[in-house]
Chains A and B, each alone.
Chain A
């Protein structure tokens, strides 16, 4: 009188919808938490999900229930010392011994945070919600350089390997029907006449003979229509379709001169991580080129980029020049979506700044999809900032922001990429 059912292979994610509902409902709180945690992440754990913390108070589902106070009668087990009528000092509230289970759990006293983890995708969605890559649509068309072979109907000529059998045989049937229809009509009429004549009481030897011959000839003619003809053959047709490239390259430019300390570099690093994560949502493959500079620029790997120390003066244009060189060598702008991010503390050799502006507006911006400049400093802006302001006025896909502390990174990032019609226009 029992049925055993093995449900282990059933889908286990019965609660997925409810989980999503939960995230949906607490989006604002979760987002706040995401924004707080983003600054604490290192470059190595960019691909992970995130632990989300929400205060329990926000999640409460209120019900009517009895509160504290009044008269409570409780029965407890394990009496080891008490006698009827004993009067005991009231135990401190939090001990929970004086209170029964009911009150302790209902009172909703626990103000612990509600912590749970979200997946990487959920994390990125929340992190980059309402953000978009500027100028994506506008520039999309002139980047049609990847071709994809797609099916596009049928054609009458082609190589044997592309023959579509069903389509060809359909053509064959149609052709045979078309070519034999009149013949089969007259054949049918003749056959009917023949049976009629045969059943007739009178003899019609001559006519029968003639009809029989005619039937024979017609049948031969019908048989002669070929089963399949080259005319029937249909080949699958393929066409090349242009698709926007899914490749992107991200240039990270950073000033490593003596004035940039590790904290400033860390801030820059966070910004690059965000940009990288954001680009992964749009592009399949992303190359990252790290260029560091003081008076001279050098292409380095990530470790060296962020952690090695060098000192010296600052000539920012060297980095821009190297970037142009790398683009020319390896990243054809027709094949690659080029993104640039430059971080600096604003120090630059004063004579060099106008040169930077020239390079930027003449050489880099025309072939880049987007270039962001962030200045990480507590001090007033210097020449580079002023020169770049002119660039910004003329180019919609150049953006600059000022970061003072770690907390600014995410808001600044949002500011740069927020969905904004003005930026696109």
Chain B
């Protein structure tokens, strides 16, 4: 192979140099069958990066004070030098928008292009969760629609009203996600068209639901059917469709927040994989460039220095330790999968008979496309990696005066550690399990929610505040119950705060 001309290693970058790098990276990425959305690479300043931070990765965000607060926080910590800014931000959209910071050296820009524009981008396009739950081509349009709609509402109904509504929705944002039902994909035009008819339709539905005229006299003797018939975990969806007194525009805002939450949900579920995948590819692509003689040793030194910082995993007793670093875990798992494919040991063959010795590129793509963090770890975390990380499991039961080591990185503990680590990334265990069990549509219109604790972990005190927000949306009594050891529902929070005897009645019934 003819030796290629080495690309300049900067440290300054120019647009033409960026293009050369991008061209080479693109060529190498294609050779590894990396399939991406078209890249739109935007060079921005540090201040613009802070703007991007503040809008939590939404390229077009509606206006709300919480983004202002985030901006001020970011600005403060950045200016004091307590925090460096990320080198890039990448948005799950088609074309895939990535932001590069102006301050980066050419090495860092190349790293970022390989990492974001090829790593993350292909993950967005290939992973089943993103495919099923997000629609990259329409998100920008939708966010634009949301921004304009909310601005219009502010104009019509006043900033305070809209702000209160958004506050309430944000409080319930994590509970505005469908975990199992698949949303439909629609375009902006359809969205606009449907929005109008939806307003009218929704209101009419609600009116039917809450109609006070009794339909049949003789039905009164029967117990009214339970509503909702099944517990509902998507609180915002339930409110959007059923809250009795919400105005049409408020329903639309609930919907917008719900949609945004849903859009980000896959990112929460695939943090380890997504970062691991992106790190694996920037590492692989830039090393390939070095092998081809495209980049200098100086370039590689700078790159490796940054790379090792990113994928470093401090140990549990280090002052820098703050949990498992998703970059480190993800990167090492993908590297490990490649190793298992290429050079399997006896142990690997026993643990991963189906992938040991297989084509590594096929396996890697398969893993990227079909898993989320939880299943990815339980499927691919190898004993070797557990030994390398020296993983150990701590079982902390509040009832005991000590914590217990549940398992360590030995033959006996591998399976236990693997399943525990997998659970650690199971969002349904991490987020509070709260479901709407009953809306009393024939009586006092009160709403009952049930908290089902995971491993006896109680709900944090913020619940009272959140209930106030829920009450704002529902506008009738809201109760949060939790089953005690006897299986009886006990009110743990309610809004408006109980008139004392309320709980007694509840117990008696």
Q: Are A15 and B50 in contact (CB under 8 A)?
A: yes
The 0/1 profile, CB within 8 Å of A marked 1, for residues 187-228 of chain B is 000000000000000000000000000000000000000000
- A235, B42: Cα distance in complex, Å: 54
Contact A62 B392 (CB under 8 A): no
CB atoms of B423 and A3 under 8 A apart: no
- Contact of B424 (CB < 8 Å), options: A66, A75, A80, A107: A75
Min CB distance, B385 to chain A, in Å? 10
| Cβ of A102 under 8 Å from chain B | yes
CA distance A78 to B175 in the complex (A): 35
Indicate whether A108 sits within 8 Å of B67 (C-beta atoms), given known contacts A70-B456, A84-B413, A88-B402: no
User: How long is the Cα–Cα vector from A102 to B426 in the complex, in angstroms?
Assistant: 12
**Interface flag for B7 (CB, 8 Å):** no
Output the nearest chain A residue to B457 by Cβ-Cβ distance. Answer: A70
Residues in A neighbouring B406, C-beta threshold 8 A = 73, 84
Interfacial chain A residues near B39, Cβ < 8 Å: 1-3
Partner among B26, B67, B407 whose Cβ is within 8 Å of the Cβ of A2: B26
Known A-B contacts A10-B48, A21-B64, A102-B323; A67 and B390 likewise in contact (beta carbons under 8 Å): no
Binary CB contact string for chain A from 11 to 37 against chain B (1 if under 8 A, 0 otherwise): 011110111111111100000000000
Is the pair B390, A25 in contact by a Cβ cutoff of 8 Å? no
Which residues of chain A are near B398, meaning CB under 8 Å?
69-71
Closest to A59 in B: B69
Which residue of chain A is the closest to B324 with respect to CB atoms? A77
B466 interfacial contact with A, CB 8 Å? yes
* Cβ distance B223 to chain A, nearest Cβ, rounded Å: 30
A6 neighbours in B (Cβ, 8 Å): 15, 42-43
Is there an interface contact between A4 and B15, defined as CB atoms closer than 8 Å?
Answer: yes
Chain B residues numbered 322-379 whose CB sits less than 8 Å from any CB in chain A? 322-324
Which B residues are CB-close (under 8 A) to A284? none
Chain B residues with CB below 8 A from A116, complex form: 72-73, 75-76
Q: Does A197 contact B (CB under 8 A)?
A: no
B417 CB–A CB distance under 8 Å: yes
Binds A, one of B138-146, B251-259, B312-320: B312-320
Do the beta carbons of B71 and A71 come within 8 Å of each other?
no
Give the residue name and chain of the A residue nearest to B423 (CB): A73
Indicate if the CB atoms of A62 and B469 lie closer than 8 Å.
yes
Which residues 110-152 in B have Cβ within 8 Å of A in the complex? 117
> For A108, what are the chain B residues with a Cβ–Cβ distance below 8 Å?
460, 462
> B247 at interface (Cβ–Cβ under 8 A)?
no
Task: Say which residue of B15, B72, B466 sits within 8 Å of A64 (CB atoms).
Answer: B466
Task: Out of A4, A67, A83, name the residue touching B457 (CB < 8 Å).
Answer: A67
Segment with Cβ contacts to A, from B288-296, B301-309, B428-436? B428-436
User: Do the beta carbons of A88 and B315 come within 8 Å of each other?
Assistant: no
Q: Cβ of A104 < 8 Å from any Cβ of B?
A: yes
State how many angstroms separate the Cβ of B118 from the closest Cβ of chain A. Answer: 10
A5 touches B41 (CB 8 A): yes
Which applies to chain B's interface (DSSP): helix, strand, loop or mixed? mixed
Interfacial chain B residues near A68, Cβ < 8 Å: 458, 460
B contact residues around A79 at 8 Å (CB): 316, 390-392, 408-409
Judging by beta carbons under 8 Å apart, are A78 and B315 in contact?
Answer: yes
> Any chain A CB within 8 A of the CB of B102?
yes
B67 contacts A4, C-beta separation under 8 Å: no
Chain B, interface size: which category? 35 or more
State whether the Cβ of B249 lies closer than 8 Å to any Cβ in chain A.
no
In the assembled complex, A98 has its CB within 8 A of some CB on chain B = yes
The answer to whether A394 has its CB under 8 Å from any CB of chain B is: no
Whether B315 pairs with A86 at a CB distance below 8 angstroms is no
Q: Does B394 contact A (CB under 8 A)?
A: yes
- Asked whether B412 lies within 8 Å of A84 as measured between CB atoms, the reply is yes
Please determine whether A74 and B63 come into contact, CB atoms closer than 8 angstroms. no
Q: Which B residues are CB-close (under 8 A) to A26?
A: 65
State whether B323 touches A100 (Cβ < 8 A): yes
Interface string of A203-224 (1 = CB under 8 A from B): 0000000000000000000000
- Give the residues in chain A near B272, CB-CB below 8 Å: none
| B408 near A5: Cβ-Cβ < 8 Å | no
Give Cα A322–Cα B67 distance, bound, in whole angstroms: 56
From known contacts A2-B40, A5-B42, A67-B460, infer whether A61 and B170 are also in contact, taking CB-CB under 8 Å: yes
Q: Can you list 20 A-B pairs with a CB-CB distance of less than 8 A?
A: A6-B15, A6-B42, A10-B44, A25-B163, A61-B171, A63-B462, A66-B431, A67-B460, A67-B461, A70-B455, A73-B393, A77-B313, A77-B316, A79-B316, A84-B406, A87-B404, A89-B402, A96-B322, A97-B321, A100-B424
List the interface of chain B (C-beta within 8 A of A).
15, 18-19, 22, 26, 36, 38-45, 47-48, 50-51, 54-55, 61, 63-69, 71-73, 75-76, 95, 99, 102, 117, 159, 163, 167, 170-175, 313-318, 321-324, 389-398, 401-410, 412-413, 417, 420-421, 423-424, 430-432, 434, 451, 453-463, 465-466, 469
Given contacts A59-B69, A73-B406, 19 further A-B contacts (CB under 8 A): A2-B22, A2-B39, A5-B41, A8-B48, A14-B55, A19-B71, A22-B68, A62-B469, A69-B457, A70-B457, A72-B394, A76-B394, A77-B315, A77-B324, A79-B316, A84-B413, A87-B403, A106-B460, A116-B73
Q: List residues of chain A with CB under 8 Å of any chain B CB.
A: 1-8, 10, 12-15, 17-26, 59-80, 82-91, 96-98, 100-102, 104, 106-108, 114-116
